[in-house]
Amino acid sequence: MLKVLSFLGNPHLNLKKNIIISGTNGKGTVATILNKIYSDSGYKVGLYTSPHLIEITERIRISNKKIREKILDRYLGKCIEASSSVNISLSFFELLTTSAILYFSKKKNDINIFEVGLGGKFDATNVIKSKIGIITNIEKDHVEFLGDSLKEIAYEKIGITNIGSKLITSAKSESLKVFDKYCKKNQTQIFRINKDFSVSKKNKNFIYTSKELSFKFKSKLKGAHQNHNLGVAIKAIELSEKEYGLRINNLKLEKSLSEVFNPGRFQTVSKDPLLIIDISHNIHSVKTLIENYQLEYNKKKINIIIGMLKDKNPLDCIKLLKKIAKNIYLTEVPNERSFQAKIVAEKLKNKNIHYIANNQIPSILANNEEYLITGSIYLLGSILKKKYVKVDIN
């Protein structure tokens, strides 16, 4: 990455005001919250996220406008030529990241928000030097790359911080011990949820509290886990005023928080009949989904359509989902890493667990029953792209 960027004139060094976000779950939501707040306040915001729901252009935005395909093609072409010139073969994600960096550097944004792809220390986004880093939570995921203990995974993710930078986190227990040690060594100031700042909910209001700021606000984001996502994002807004001079009026902040929306995250598409879509792609996010569903609908059971990648413990996730399921319909994910839905359904030998092909989903949804569609973002994205389910993702 650095060799290719050097050939391109080191555009990453032109990006002076950045926030980089790592963690197991919630990265995309935190990035969306920050993007909404800064954009609403009139700042020019570069946003780089992954993966996309429907179109690849969703990954690179400026002031909430997706990059146009022609422009993305042009920047990808420049980066491919540069990598060829220095005899380096970049991966798909590395090429996209390099393109985003080059694009943002030309546009001279007020702030750039980068969502880490995988881990932190060796992720392509980590060529960006940021004074503010966010790590949401730490759970066991991508163990084949990051290690099979929380300490190992935490060590990889803490790699996004720089000497003298600020770290905001909602991680806990073992992970925090790793962070504390690392931050002390690198003179990085750490801000922990429920210690240095907090978000609680009372009736329909959220309450944010830190040493410097305290206010009430409303949010459309559903689920207890959103307290943490909202908390780390607001703390980043606080710190960016000190570090980058980006001031946010409190009234505008409250308005933005009340309007922020992240498609595919416990999203109610229809109330009659009930249809919910939720990107829960691993054990931790499935547990959160179940908790959120039970908070909202108590003991009510629902039909579930799910497709997962084979490396995300699909069997364990299916067993957990039985708590809230009438029937579970397993289907393939349009990705080479998909679990074998038909074989899994046969192995489970459960009268309430069935296999359906992707193209059967519309007919299943047409039977006027209540459904929850969950699992891999690749499954949700394909369903939305084929318009089996129609939602506005902007």
Per-residue pLDDT reduced to its tens digit, 32-41: 999 999 999 9
Are residues 252 and 278 located together in one domain of the fold? no
* Domain assignment present for 361: yes
Least confident range of 146-155, 230-239, 336-345: 146-155
Q: Are 324 and 290 in contact (CB under 8 A)?
A: yes
Closest among 56, 143, 60, 51 to 333, alpha carbons compared: 51
The answer to whether 236 and 132 have CB atoms below 8 angstroms apart is: yes
* 77 and 157 co-located in one domain: yes
Q: Does the bond joining 273 to the residue before it have cis omega, within 30 degrees of 0?
A: yes
Reference 138, options 25, 237, 235; nearest CA is: 25
Same domain, 239 and 275: no
Q: What is the reported pTM?
A: 0.92
Tell me the mean pLDDT in the region 217-246: 94
Q: Which of 201, 230, 259 is the last residue of a domain?
A: 259
Structure tokens at 297: 């609908």
Domain that holds residue 276: 267-385
pLDDT greater than 60 at residue 145: no
228 and 276 belong to one structural domain: no
pLDDT over 60 at 305, yes or no: yes
Does the pLDDT at position 147 exceed 80?
A: no
How many Å is the Cα radius of gyration of the chain?
21
> Which pLDDT score, from 0 to 100, does residue 81 have?
98
- Summarised one tens digit per residue, pLDDT across range 336-372 is 999 999 999 998 989 999 999 999 999 999 999 999 9
- Read off the pLDDT of residues 202-220 as tens digits, 9 standing for 90 and up: 888 999 999 999 999 999 9
241, 381: one domain? no
Which pLDDT does position 82 carry in this prediction? 98
> Are both 8 and 35 inside the same structural domain?
yes
Is residue 390 a part of any domain in this protein?
Answer: no
Percent of the chain with pLDDT over 90: 80
Q: What is the pLDDT of residue 140?
A: 56
Query: Which tokens go with 308?
Result: 């997962």
334 and 211: one domain? no
Look at strands 111-115 and 45-48 and give their pairing: parallel
Band the pLDDT of 142: cuts 50, 70, 90: very low
Total structural domains within the chain: 2
125 secondary structure, DSSP code: G
Residue with tokens 């007919």: 363
Strands 267-271 and 274-278 turn out to be antiparallel
- 311 with 220, same domain: the answer is no
